[in-house]
Amino acid sequence: MEMWMKIGYALLLGMMIMFIFPRAKQMLKESPKVSGNEWMGVLIPIIAVVLFVMLLIKLV
Amino acid sequence: MNTNPSVLTQGAVSSLATTKLIRNTYTLLSITLLFSALMAGLSMTMQVSHGVSLFTLIGAFALIWLVLPRTANSAAGIGVVFAITGLLGFGLGPMLNSYLALQNGSQIIMVAFGGTATIFLGLSGYALVTRKNFSFLGGMLFVGMLMVLVAALANIFMEIPALSLAISSIVILIMSGFILYDTSRIVNGGETNYVMATVGLYLSIYNIFVHLLHLLSAFSGRD
């Protein structure tokens, strides 16, 4: 990648970080506390995604 | 059981509004994905350079940050969504051309396309059917995204292949979480604007596709 493109992508990522940072801070403060059962509802589909991606990697 | 007619009517109206929001979001999402694919095809045919991708990305994110929040509640919002998805699709052209130049490039693209569709339909369907509230994921997902962006920024200059693969893997997981989070917000009333809902889901699909392509090409040993 040429240097001007690296700088361009770095500026874009820097802008993204600046944009997301205050929102992430606010969301973290406002996130409700949840039980282990509710985490299981997230972990199961995420583990399914991991296994599926591993299967796709085996396919190609 | 509550048999108060006014409560039942409120519940029915709320349910109808949610159904309408889901239908509008998925209709707009389907059309914008098709439009994005057409724009990607156009840029592939035109053989545009990688530099053009950078400018389309900057244009798309400028629209997302500066224009979309002001137009999301008006008819102009739909035009802005098409502009965003068109720019992002057009920016995919050079990357898809470079993957097509690989020995099994077309197979990698087709597998990434099918894989992305399966992940999206599976996760969104799961959140729609179970109607679970995933709003607690918001903070964690945004912080995770922030950390990934910092790592990606560092890796632009460090160019460590293993870090690049780790970033792609984590982005796929974070975007999968965002699909659950965004769909649950639509179902549970956290999001009432189908234009904003469409852009959120589109960005998750776009990122999963791009990073799945990266992983598949790397692990097929031809990246």
pLDDT tens digit sequence for B120-135:
999 999 999 999 999 9
pLDDT tens digit sequence for B199-217:
999 999 999 999 999 999 9
Q: Which chain A positions have a beta carbon within 8 Å of B216's beta carbon?
A: 56-57, 60
Q: How many CB atoms lie within 10 A of CB B72?
A: 19
Do B177 and A42 make contact, defined as CB atoms within 8 angstroms?
A: yes
Question: Per-residue pLDDT for A2 more than 90?
Answer: no
Count CA atoms closer than 13 A to B97's CA, side-chain side: 18
Question: Per-residue pLDDT for B11 more than 80?
Answer: no
Do A13 and B152 make contact, defined as CB atoms within 8 angstroms?
A: yes
| C-alpha closest to that of A38 among B180, B73, B4 | B180
Smallest Cβ–Cβ distance between A24 and the set B112, B142, B220 belongs to B142
ipTM value for the complex: 0.93
Query: Looking at CA atoms only, how far is residue B75 from chain A in angstroms?
Result: 25
Query: Looking at CA atoms only, how far is residue A41 from chain B in angstroms?
Result: 8
Predicted confidence at residue B223, as pLDDT, reads 46
Predicted confidence at residue B4, as pLDDT, reads 62
Smallest Cβ–Cβ distance between B136 and the set A23, A34, A45 belongs to A34
Number of domain units in chain B:
1
- B59 in contact with A, Cβ within 8 Å: no
Q: Which domain holds residue B171?
A: 5-219
In angstroms, what CA-CA distances link B208 with A49, B47, B50, B112, B179? 11, 24, 20, 9, 10
pLDDT band at A32 (very low <50, low <70, confident <90, very high): confident
Q: How many CB atoms lie within 10 A of CB A18?
A: 10
pLDDT tens digit sequence for A47-59:
999 999 999 999 8
* Interval B85-95 mean pLDDT: 97
Q: Which chain A positions have a beta carbon within 8 Å of B187's beta carbon?
A: none
| C-alpha closest to that of B209 among B139, B119, B77, B107 | B119
- B216 in contact with A, Cβ within 8 Å: yes
C-alpha angle B44-B50-B53 in degrees, rounded to nearest 5 = 80
Q: Which domain holds residue A26?
A: 3-59
Place of tokens 């109206």: B13
- B188 in contact with A, Cβ within 8 Å: no
Number of domain units in chain A:
1
Q: Is A1 helix (H, G, I), strand (E, B) or coil?
A: coil
